Amino acid sequence: MTTAARPTKLTEAEIEQRAGDLKAWSVEAGKLHRAYRFPNFDEAFGFMSAVALEAKALDHHPEWSNVYDRVVIDLTTHDAGGLTKLDFILAARCEQLAADFGARS
Amino acid sequence: MTTAARPTKLTEAEIEQRAGDLKAWSVEAGKLHRAYRFPNFDEAFGFMSAVALEAKALDHHPEWSNVYDRVVIDLTTHDAGGLTKLDFILAARCEQLAADFGARS
C-alpha cells in the first residue's frame, strides 16, 4: 500500500512564476485570493457546486464565502504551511468554471 | 398583476420571541448567526446545496462561508434593513437540514 505524496510548499520564485498565469488572482496573507461576481445567485452557487466537485477530486478544498452573486475564494495548503501546486491547479480550474457560469469579474 | 409583499423588519420584541425557538443561533451585528461543523467537506457542501435550494425557493439568500467541514451563516434582509420572518424561516430550515447532514454542532 502506498501513500500519495502531498505537494510541498513552493518557493517565492515559484509562486511568482505560477501567479503570472493567473492575472486576476492576488497573493494575500500568503493565500491565493480572488473575488468573482456572477449574474445572480443561481450562477454563483452553480459555480461553487462545480468547484466543490473539483475540490473533492483533488482532495484540496477552498476557503470561500458567498453573498448572493459574489463568491470570494482563498486558497492555501494547510498541510504544507503555504502555497503548493494544488492551489494553482484549483485556481486555474476556478477560472475555467467561472467563465462557464458567466462570471462578470 | 400583483406584487408579492416583502416582509417588514421585525421589532426587538418580535426578534427576541422568535430567537427563543432557535437556541443555537445568536444575533450578531443585527444578523442571525450560526456556525456549523459537519463530519467532512462532503456533508458540509451537501448541506450548503440543500440550503441553496431553500434560498432559491424563498428568494432569500444567506451570507455564508465554508472552510472544509465548517459552515458559518449570517442571515439578514437587506431590503428591510434588518431581520424579518424570512430570516427565521431560513434559519429553521438550516437547523433541519444540518441535522440531516450530520452536523456535530
Determine contact: A45 vs chain B, CB below 8 A: yes
More confident call, A53 vs B104: A53
Q: Would you say residue A70 lies in a domain?
A: yes
Decide if A27 contacts A83 (C-beta within 8 A). yes
Confidence (pTM): 0.92
Exposure of B71 by Cβ count < 10 A (0-12 exposed, 13-18 middle, 19+ buried)? buried
pLDDT the model gives residue B1: 47
Decide if A90 contacts A84 (C-beta within 8 A). no
How many C-beta atoms lie closer than 10 Å to residue B92's C-beta?
14
Which DSSP letter does residue A40 get? S
Beta strands per DSSP E along chain B = 26-28, 31-37, 63-67, 70-75
Decide if B54 contacts B92 (C-beta within 8 A). no
Q: Which residues of chain A have pLDDT under 70?
A: 1-4
pLDDT the model gives residue B3: 54
Cβ of A63 within 8 Å of Cβ of B65? The answer is: yes
Q: Would you say residue A7 lies in a domain?
A: no
List A residues 67-86 in contact with B (Cβ-Cβ < 8 A): 67-68
Q: Would you say residue A68 lies in a domain?
A: yes
Q: Would you say residue A63 lies in a domain?
A: yes
Cβ of B52 within 8 Å of Cβ of A45? The answer is: yes
- B16 — pLDDT class (breaks 50, 70, 90): confident
Cβ of B67 within 8 Å of Cβ of A66? The answer is: no
Closest CA to A76 of A9, A5, A4, A3: A9
pLDDT the model gives residue B19: 83
Phi/psi at A92 (5° precision): -65, -40
Q: Would you say residue B87 lies in a domain?
A: yes
Q: Would you say residue B32 lies in a domain?
A: yes
How many C-beta atoms lie closer than 10 Å to residue B89's C-beta?
16
pLDDT the model gives residue B20: 82
The number of distinct structural domains making up chain A is 1
- Write the CATH number for A47: 3.30.1360.20
Cell of B98: 444540518
Residue-number span of the structural domain to which A90 is assigned: 12-101
Per-residue model confidence as pLDDT tens digits over B48-98: 999 999 999 999 999 999 999 999 999 999 999 999 999 999 999 999 999
Cell of A99: 467563465
Cell of B8: 417588514
More confident call, B18 vs B98: B98
Q: Would you say residue B3 lies in a domain?
A: no
ipTM: 0.91
The CA distance from B56 to B40, in Å, is 25
Q: Would you say residue A1 lies in a domain?
A: no
